[in-house]
Amino acid sequence: MTGDNCVVFLVVLTFLWTAARGDVQCIFMESCILPCSFDPGPEIVIHWVQGNKPVHSYYHNANKLSHQDKRYTGRTSLFESQILNGNVSLLLKKVEIQDRGQYKCYTSTIKGNKEQYVSVNVKAPVSEVNVEQTGDSITCSSNGIYPQPELKWSTILPSNLTIMNHTVHQTEQQVYTIRSSLLISDHSEGLEYICNVTTGESYWKATVRQQAPVTSEDSEASISCITAKTLRSLVWKFNYNQIILKKTTSPANIQYWNNWKQKVKEESESNNLILKDLSSDQQGMYTCELTTANGTYIINTFLNVPGSNQGKPTVLIAVIVIVIVIALAVAGIVAGIIHSKRKKNTSSEEPGYDLVQAKGSD
């Protein structure tokens, strides 16, 4: 081995050594392995410690957890079958944000002892954004995020964005919840609003788009959504709050709500909704809420059902009102006539009474 090679070898060795004790990136609520190894021998003693908190101990060939800090109860274990191979890595389950910090792995045998350190970092990436929609606002929210997320609204066309109720708060578990509402002043078709929630490298984008209205033909209509390679779930809604159907890919399943099954001719591969037997009751806003591995898409389409009796109830009400008005007017006139007649006969007795009397005396 030449001198140069020797230096390279030492550098690589040092790198491997530091990497072995290096940082561990854990994910909130998932399991994480804190690596540690030693040179096995008789009379093994293992202590995993965080700060001054006992995390996990092992000696006399058994786990000893009586002094374990209660924050770690039921969440730690060693790979016992691997201990004699020199692997004393710690398996930490249901990782919490508070688990961040430096951990000491102490090992000893009759051959000697060793202390190694593992630095644990915990993050909770943005895994999904919930979108709630009403006629004039969109609310975007997400929870269980760490470190503190950011939420940004944007739009593809120039438009004034009015943001309301923007809140961020940290739960007892130290993860963040973020929520923000956008007031929609512009309902132009083709307009797209995007809500982007980010923390560190991870982000989740929710897109709300207004599509051109669709008009039914022969009581049928096809309403398009978007095609997605990585579809997780799809929900079709009517007038923002009535669920039509829910579709999931794993397991593959479609579930219909109320009587919508009779109105849906097909729920196509490309996520289009094909409707049949349409009547005025089905005229309104159709929303496709689609979740992929990348984000959420909310596509709104207004469906016109022409020849529908949409106008008729108003006409009917108007007719009824006119009839009532005429009836009242007629009644008023009649009453007025009677009243004026009565006025003329104020001194005499009731005409009806007279009549009864007359009849009775017959």
Which residues in this chain contact ligand NAG in the complex, by CB under 6 A? 33, 35, 37, 79, 82, 87, 89, 137, 139, 158-160, 164-165, 181, 196, 198, 203, 205, 228, 292, 294
CB of 154 to ligand NAG, least distance (A): 6
CB of 76 to ligand NAG, least distance (A): 14
CB of 139 to ligand NAG, least distance (A): 6
Q: How buried is residue 329: exposed, middle or buried, by Cβ count under 10 Å (0-12/13-18/19+)?
A: exposed
**Location of structure tokens 């022969």:** 218
- Report the C-alpha gap between 90 and 172 in whole angstroms: 26
Nearer to ligand NAG, 79 or 353 (CB): 79
Evaluate whether 192 touches 295 at the Cβ level (below 8 Å). Answer: no
Nearer to ligand NAG, 116 or 282 (CB): 116
Nearer to ligand NAG, 8 or 156 (CB): 156
DSSP code of residue 83: G
CB of 132 to ligand NAG, least distance (A): 9
CB of 89 to ligand NAG, least distance (A): 4
- Report the C-alpha gap between 215 and 342 in whole angstroms: 63
Strand partners, 27: 123
CB of 78 to ligand NAG, least distance (A): 9
Nearer to ligand NAG, 166 or 339 (CB): 166
Nearer to ligand NAG, 38 or 72 (CB): 38
Report DSSP letters for 94-141, one per residue: S--GGG-EEEEEEEEETTEEEEEEEEEEEEB-----EEEE-SSEEEEE
Nearer to ligand NAG, 139 or 177 (CB): 139
- Report the C-alpha gap between 299 and 270 in whole angstroms: 14
Give the torsion through C-alpha atoms of 223, 227, 230, 234, to 10 deg. Answer: 0
